[in-house]
């Protein structure tokens, strides 16, 4: 009789020990799944920004994508960008390039940040800012890092080859003349 009680006790102890370990593993797995789910949602938001807003002109999505006081880091400055300013920027580019198209290359996610490399293509067949149309086709690669909070973009870091872009349009880089 002592033997079956000892065996049953050991089995219960083993089950309890494995059950506790399993709970820790399950908690870790759930944490990993939650992070992956947020990353996937943020990637979909990024894709909506580049494809639905820029390629298709769906400006209504901007309010759902960006926080009201989003900060953009660009070269040596940072600026606060409002959704209405982003809408104006999209309109300006789409008017200057009626065949505007972004093609996504790489997207990487790490928690609340998404990095993307994409290529913009278009024909400058409309006015672009103060510049008249050139009729030239251009292609430029851009890289962005977006920081998300509560499903909205709160910060953007942007790297864009402005010089290469302007050269494709036919502009030349000339040094400033020094006054003597």
pLDDT higher for 103 or 28? 103
Calculate the dihedral angle through the C-alpha atoms of 32, 37, 39, 42, rounding to the nearest 10 degrees: -160
- 5 Cβ partners below 8 Å, 6+ apart? none
Bridge partners (DSSP) listed for residue 71 = 80, 155
pLDDT of residue 180: 73
pLDDT digits (tens, 9 = 90+) for 69-86: 899 998 888 999 999 999
Is 1 a residue whose pLDDT tops 60? no
Bridge partners (DSSP) listed for residue 156 = 72, 146
pLDDT of residue 105: 96
pLDDT of residue 172: 84
pLDDT of residue 2: 58
Q: Which long-range contacts (CB under 8 A, 24 or more apart) does 101-105 make?
A: 101/55, 102/50, 102/51, 102/54, 102/55, 104/47, 104/50, 104/51, 105/141
Tokens describing residue 118? 């994409």
Bridge partners (DSSP) listed for residue 72 = 79, 156
Candidates 153, 142, 13; CA nearest to 72 is: 153
Among 24-28, 42-46, 84-88, 89-93, the minimum mean pLDDT is found in 24-28
Is 26 a residue whose pLDDT tops 90? no
pLDDT digits (tens, 9 = 90+) for 28-80: 888 888 889 999 999 999 999 999 999 999 999 999 999 998 999 988 889 99
Average pLDDT, the chain: 89
Candidates 61, 38, 70, 63; CA nearest to 151 is: 38
d(CA 162, CA 95) in angstroms, rounded, equals: 19
């Amino acid at each position: 009789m002592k033997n079956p009680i000892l065996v049953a006790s050991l089995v219960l102890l083993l089950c309890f020990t494995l059950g506790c370990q399993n709970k820790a593993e399950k908690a870790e797995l759930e944490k990993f799944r939650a992070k992956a789910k947020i990353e996937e949602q943020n990637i979909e938001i990024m894709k909506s920004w580049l494809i639905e807003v820029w390629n298709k002109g769906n400006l209504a999505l901007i309010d759902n994508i960006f926080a009201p006081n989003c900060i953009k880091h660009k070269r040596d400055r940072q600026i606060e960008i409002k959704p209405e300013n982003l809408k104006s920027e999209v309109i300006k580019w789409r008017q200057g390039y009626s065949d505007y198209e972004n093609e996504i290359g790489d997207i990487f996610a790490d928690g609340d940040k998404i990095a993307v490399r994409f290529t913009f293509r278009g024909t400058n067949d409309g006015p672009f800012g103060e510049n008249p149309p050139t009729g030239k086709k251009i292609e430029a690669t851009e890289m962005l890092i977006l920081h998300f909070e509560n499903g909205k973009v709160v910060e953007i870091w942007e790297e864009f080859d402005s010089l290469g872009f302007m050269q494709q349009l036919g502009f030349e880089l000339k040094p400033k003349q020094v006054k003597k």
